Amino acid sequence: GETARLTGKRVLVTAGGTVERLDPVRYLTNDSSGKMGYAIAEEAARMGAVVTLVSGPSALPVPDGVGIFRVQSALDMREAVLARFEDSDLVIKAAAVADYRPAVVAEQKIKKKSDSLTLELIKNPDILQELGTRKTHQFVVGFAAETERLDEHALDKLKRKNCDLIVGNDVSQEGAGFGVDTNVVRFYDKNGLVQALPIQSKSDVARKLLELAGDRMSAAPEE
């Protein structure tokens, strides 16, 4: 039936923001609450999947029946995701991974000295892009959080990162994106826009995304 499409499928979901340490008491992060990724994990479990959630720091309760693995940095998240990738059927990357991390993590608290302080940041590996390169049987879904030209940027990310689907998230819209309980998203595949959803709860967005992914996974592979 409608909800049985993920029965027994192994689903790996990432959620939340990463934490990039500067020193023992300071870090860089972003506004991701984990709500979108946790909603995906919860709905996937309801649809019969075996779900693992790799999560940055989040205060949210772990959904029933979901296995949780907590991480801090983008490097930790990369390790956790790659370790579980081979044994996954569907991977959904809702996490807001930091693009950069401090070049040096100070062992002691950084002292206040001059009037200005320059931080050097270095690029983090792009986990989604690595999955796109490595994937064999896995169905890989990325997210694209954008504040302008959503269609163009989302499709560009889908192609560059070799995803099967991408969820375009216009985070400049009211009731969409970081921290809120609702979202406004568009689903794309390599041919372009598949579905544009009006504002709705993150649980409803999650269910529609999982139904689409489930349909595409069970369809005969394209030539």
Q: Looking at the annotation, which residues are catalytic?
A: 30
Alpha-carbon gap, residue 159 to 166, rounded angstroms:
9
**Total of residues contacting ligand PMT (CB under 6 A):** 27
Alpha-carbon gap, residue 48 to 71, rounded angstroms:
25
Structure tokens at 69: 């693995």
Of 96, 158, 210, 212, the residue at the interface with ligand PMT (CB under 6 A) is 96
Of 63, 102, 142, 214, the residue at the interface with ligand PMT (CB under 6 A) is 142
Instruction: Assess 19 for contact with ligand PMT (CB under 6 A).
Output: no
8 vs 171, which CB is nearer to ligand PMT? 171
Of 5, 35, 186, 207, the residue at the interface with ligand PMT (CB under 6 A) is 35
Question: What phi and psi values does residue 31 have, to the nearest 5 degrees?
Answer: -85, 5
Select from 142, 181, 176, 147 the least CA-distant residue to 60. 181
9 vs 157, which CB is nearer to ligand PMT? 157
Q: Smallest distance, Å, CB 118 to ligand PMT?
A: 22
Q: Smallest distance, Å, CB 55 to ligand PMT?
A: 10
Instruction: Assess 46 for contact with ligand PMT (CB under 6 A).
Output: no
Q: Smallest distance, Å, CB 183 to ligand PMT?
A: 6
**Going by C-beta distance under 8 Å and a sequence separation of 6 or more, which residues neighbour residue 18?**
29, 56, 71, 72, 73, 74, 76, 77, 95, 96, 97, 98, 124
Looking at residues 122 to 141 of the shown chain, list those that interact with ligand PMT (rule: CB under 6 A): 124, 126-128
Q: Smallest distance, Å, CB 92 to ligand PMT?
A: 8
- Return the amino acid letter for 73: S
Residue 143 is given by DSSP the state E
Q: What is the CA radius of gyration of the chain?
A: 18
What strands lie across the sheet with 139-146, from one edge to the other?
66-70, 50-55, 10-15, 90-93, 139-146, 165-170, 185-189, 192-196
- Return the amino acid letter for 194: V
Of 6, 13, 36, 45, the residue at the interface with ligand PMT (CB under 6 A) is 36
Instruction: Assess 144 for contact with ligand PMT (CB under 6 A).
Output: yes
Q: Which window, 21-29, 60-68, 96-104, 187-195, contacts ligand PMT (CB under 6 A)?
A: 96-104
Alpha-carbon gap, residue 156 to 173, rounded angstroms:
21
User: Which positions touch ligand PMT (CB under 6 A)?
Assistant: 16, 32-36, 74, 93-97, 99, 124, 126-128, 142-145, 157, 169, 171, 177-179
Annotated binding site for CTP: 99, 109, 125-128, 143, 157, 161
